[in-house]
Amino acid sequence: MDSKDYSHTASMWIWGALTVGLIELVDAWRGVRSLGGLAISIAVILIYLLPELLSLTTASAVLFMVLFLVHGFS
């Protein structure tokens, strides 16, 4: 069986636009405000939380290595 990679970018944008349109159609301004809140939440995660998590992971790895270098493996 031949496996090929297909680009689903266009269909994902279409489904996303349909979802946003349906939310706005059904719930009017509450839907728009909820989408705004979702966008702000994602922005906070990407701008603040993700880099902090990566720096915490890096700091933990360095601390773990230094602990063994200073005190030994016993």
Rg of the chain's alpha carbons, rounded to an integer?
22
Stronger pLDDT, 42 or 73, i.e. the higher one: 42
**Tell me, what's the pLDDT at 74?**
66
* Mean per-residue pLDDT of the chain: 84
**Tell me, what's the pLDDT at 1?**
56
Residue-wise pLDDT for 4-40, tens only, equals 778 888 899 999 999 888 888 888 888 888 888 889 9
Residue-wise pLDDT for 45-63, tens only, equals 888 888 888 888 888 888 8
Long-range contacts of range 22-29, CB-CB < 8 Å, 24 or more positions apart? Answer: none
